[in-house]
């Protein structure tokens, strides 16, 4: 799923809600419909300090071994196929955050080469999020993650002259899912269905 920046803080999935996965999700979710059976909300604050003119990647996958969360790994992809994490992300601090998939920047313009680049004085200000976009106390940046998907990454970059700190607040809505037949979904439920779209770049 591409990171989704919303205009207002969104409501979270709750028990009984329907979610439809559209696009190139893993086979366990691809083009399927699910009802939320259980939902738990877990707050996870992450703080990072980045030196001037430096960057740091935060990968949503778990690290290998006995310590799944570390300096670059957040373990924000579920282990079970019957789970979806609905993630809300808020920021506090003076860093720029670029969404990435498959070692590529997600947000770019149509002209070839107009892609974020932290080493370019102009292109470093393309396709990033900051604390004004998604405030720490009222997150507006949303992402869904499921088992076996491509790993989302946030690249934190410091364009200042001294080391800067950013604190990210993740609201992890851990949802247990039950697959349903689309024909069993009522018209009222269809009007409220949550669509989780999957795309790894903003090209259409």
Report pLDDT digits (tens) over 66-81.
899 999 999 999 999 9
The whole-number pLDDT of residue 201 equals 57
Which is nearest to 176 in space by CA: 79, 59, 45, 88?
79
pLDDT, position 200: 62
Give dist(CA 13, CA 35) in Å, integer. 10
Residue 158, pLDDT score:
98
Domain boundary assignment for the chain = 39-174
Mean pLDDT in the chain?
94
Instruction: State the Cα angle at 117 between 93 and 75, rounded to 5°.
Output: 55
Confidence (pTM) = 0.94
pLDDT bucket at 202, cuts 50 / 70 / 90: low
Cα within 13 Å of Cα(184), Cβ side: 9
Higher-confidence position of 166 and 197: 166
pLDDT exceeds cutoff 90 at 3: no
Q: Which of 152, 156, 170 shows the shortest CA–CA distance to 124?
A: 156
Collapsed DSSP state (helix, strand, coil) of residue 189: helix
Pick the CATH number of 39-174 from 2.60.40, 2.60.120, 1.10.287, 3.40.50: 2.60.120
Angle at 11 between CA 13 and CA 180, to 5 degrees: 25
Residue matched to tokens 């900051």: 130
């Amino acid at each position: 799923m591409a990171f989704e920046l919303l205009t207002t803080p969104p409501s979270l999935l709750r028990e009984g809600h329907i979610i439809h996965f559209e696009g190139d999700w893993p086979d366990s979710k691809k083009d399927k419909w699910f009802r939320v059976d259980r939902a738990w909300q877990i707050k996870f604050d992450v703080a990072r300090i980045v030196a001037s003119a430096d960057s740091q990647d935060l990968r949503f996958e778990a690290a290998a071994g006995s310590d799944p969360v570390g300096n670059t790994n957040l373990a924000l992809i579920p282990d079970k196929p019957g789970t979806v994490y609905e993630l809300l992300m808020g920021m506090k601090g003076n860093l720029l955050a670029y969404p990435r998939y498959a070692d590529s920047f997600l947000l770019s313009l149509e002209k070839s080469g107009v892609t974020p680049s932290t080493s370019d004085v102009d292109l470093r200000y393309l396709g990033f999020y900051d604390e004004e976009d998604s405030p720490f106390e009222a997150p507006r940046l949303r992402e869904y993650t499921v088992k076996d998907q491509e790993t989302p990454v946030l690249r934190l970059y410091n364009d200042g002259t001294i080391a800067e700190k950013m604190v990210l607040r993740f609201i992890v809505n851990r949802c247990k899912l039950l697959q349903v037949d689309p024909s069993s979904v009522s018209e009222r439920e269809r009007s409220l269905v949550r669509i989780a779209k999957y795309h790894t770049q903003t090209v259409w």
